[in-house]
Amino acid sequence: MYTLVLRDDVFDDIKKAYDWYEEQRSGLGEDFLLSLEASYATITRHPNIYQNIHKHIKRTLVRRFPYGLFYIINEDVKQVIVLAVLHTRSHPTQWIERTQ
């Protein structure tokens, strides 16, 4: 099993999405967080299950929500590093810039 590491920007991504979903319907933000947790569990158990979408960056889609979770794997220390949690319609430069 790999350790999960969230970069600082990811917390902002999650808060924005959570707040938006809570405005739409009370409790929907919590559902979003639960779906994220399920994605975290999958990528920490099986980080290589998803293909690279750009260089060494992988993406999984968040179940029930139009969000992608972008991550890299550090095999040396057995870490999955989440770079971004963004809406699938976000411009690719938003997550590509975070890899530099």
Q: Which CATH number fits domain 3-99: 3.30.2310.20, 1.10.3300.10, 3.40.50.720, 3.40.50.1370?
A: 3.30.2310.20
96 contacts: CB under 8 Å, gap ≥ 6: 54, 57
Residue 76, helix vs strand vs coil: coil
Element (H, E) at 85: strand 79-87
- Which pTM was predicted? 0.91
Between residues 91 and 30, which one has the greater pLDDT? Answer: 30
> How high is the pLDDT of residue 100?
61
Write down the residue that tokens 């139009």 correspond to. 66
SS3 content of the chain, % helix, strand, coil (to 5): 45, 30, 25
Q: Which residue has the higher pLDDT, 96 or 8?
A: 8
Nearest alpha-carbon partner for 83 in 62, 100, 66: 100
Domain map (residue ranges) of the chain: 3-99
Task: Write the pLDDT tens digit of every residue in 50-69.
Answer: 999 988 999 999 999 999 99
